[in-house]
Amino acid sequence: MSLSKELLDILACPKCKGDIHLNETEDGLVCESCMLVYEIRDEIPIMLIEEAKPLKK
């Protein structure tokens, strides 16, 4: 089970407060502006800036 649409609609990047979206594998939330991926563990998004990983292009 992935994150609900309602949750995705209210979540924002903690660094820039911009929009985020699920990555293709649905195991992370991507902020294109900050070029960061916030991991999803056990269906819980880890929205800590210090735990975010750089976006690989």
Walk me through the domains of the chain, giving residue ranges and CATH numbers.
Answer: 5-54 (2.20.25.10)
Tokens representing 46 are: 């880890």
- Say which DSSP state 8 is in: H
**57 has pLDDT over 80:** no
- Say which DSSP state 51 is in: G
**1 has pLDDT over 70:** no
What stretches of 1-57 adopt beta strand conformation (E)?
Answer: 21-22, 28-31, 36-41, 44-45, 53-54
Instruction: Please name the residues in contact with 17: beta carbons below 8 A apart, sequence gap of 6 or more.
Output: none
Residue 4, pLDDT score? 84
pTM to 2 decimal places: 0.88
pLDDT in tens, 16-50: 999 999 999 999 999 999 999 999 999 899 999 99
